[in-house]
Amino acid sequence: MIPKHTIGSNALRSNALCSNALRSNAHTHTTFCDGADSAEELVRHALSLGFISLGFSGHSYYPDCSHYCMSPEGTLQYQAEIRRLQAAYQDRITVRLGLELDYFSQVDLAPYEYIIGSVHHFRDPSSHIFYAFDGSADHFRQMLDQSFNGNILALARAYYSMLAQLVTQPQQGRRIDIVGHFNLITKQNRVHHLIDESDPAYQKIAYEALRACAQTGAIFEVNTGAMARGYANEPYPNLEMLRWLHELKAPVIITSDCHAMACLDFAFEEARQLLLTAGYRSVMRLGRNSLFEEVAL
């Protein structure tokens, strides 16, 4: 794990002099789902930051997450609005229409330029209760006790298996482009220590899923969203996992999982430094002339 005095430093929060690799974000939420700002407000803010591209990734609809995902009607409105912004700002910034596709979603993927594959929930096969992997610590403990008899490795195995399945099995003839917040189940770990991330048994489960996803050629996001919300001191995935990804020659992309415009480029410089520590010298970003392009760190 990277030392705490390196991660979370306020000196690294400002990206005023950030590298070109950081002038883009592919994981952005709007008021069409659980974001705080409109898509156009986010485009204008991205321009103020000197972004060359901005990708939107509304949460895909499924009935059990209706409180934060796009509604079927809202999905169509979202698509139309992003297309409008693409045309309106085409001379100033490249706007991309993406989707954060959840494991349980059954939606038409044809309209989207890229797909982020994420797992947020677990449905207990016996009780049919729907639990959030990234919920509160109490909610997580309830899922652990009720669905996995207190066995944290069984919970980890279920989560990583679902994510690997989503990424490795084509959806409507398409593969996932970006692996979303790979180790999301560690969200509460900084305070509540619910998972021993140094346990070799846990690491084996996580590594096998990571390798399976990497073999598809998918890009792994280095997601600073939990840092922005105060849950974590480092991105998803952590430094050790980033080193695994570097050994596997897996591409990565820095994202903020933005839900409020003030966090559009949150801790991007920290993420860049972490990637350099892991051995990376380049990352992917949303391009102006191609969907993804490789740029130096």
| CATH domain 21-296 topology | TIM Barrel (3.20.20)
On the CB side of 120, how many CA atoms lie within 13 Å of its CA?
18
What pLDDT is stored for residue 19 in this prediction?
A: 67
Query: Taking a C-beta distance cutoff of 8 angstroms, is the pair 29, 57 a contact?
Result: yes
Distance CA 224, CA 258 (A): 9
Q: How many CA atoms lie within 13 A of 186 on its CB side?
A: 23
Say how far apart CA 288 and CA 136 lie, in whole Å. Answer: 39
**Cα separation of 122 and 143, whole Å?**
9
Q: Which residue reads 């709007």 in tokens?
A: 30
Which amino acid, one-letter code, is at 277?
T
* Among the listed residues 281, 294, 217, 282, the one whose alpha carbon sits nearest the alpha carbon of residue 248: 217
How far is it, in rounded angstroms, from Cα 294 to Cα 170? 24
* Peptide bond preceding 237 in cis form (omega within 30 of 0): yes
Smallest CA-to-CA distance from 121 within 136, 104, 141, 137 is with: 104
pLDDT for residue 3: 28
Are 272 and 24 in contact, with CB atoms under 8 Å apart?
A: no
Per-residue pLDDT in tens (0 to 9) along the chain, 297 residues? 222 222 333 333 444 445 676 899 999 999 999 999 999 999 999 999 999 999 999 999 998 877 889 999 999 999 999 999 999 999 999 999 999 999 999 999 999 999 999 999 999 999 999 999 999 999 999 999 999 999 999 999 999 999 999 999 998 999 999 999 999 999 999 999 999 999 999 999 999 999 999 999 999 999 999 999 999 999 999 999 999 999 999 999 999 999 999 999 999 999 999 999 999 999 999 999 899 999 999
Rounded CA-CA distance 182/206 in Å is: 9
Left if phi > 0, otherwise alpha if psi is -120 to 50, otherwise beta: which for 172?
left
Helix ranges (H only) for 61-199 are: 72-88, 137-148, 152-168, 189-192
The reported pLDDT for the residue numbered 22 is: 85
CB atoms within 10 A of CB 296: 9
Token pair belonging to 125: 């096969």
Q: Residue 114: which H helix or E strand, with range?
A: strand 114-118
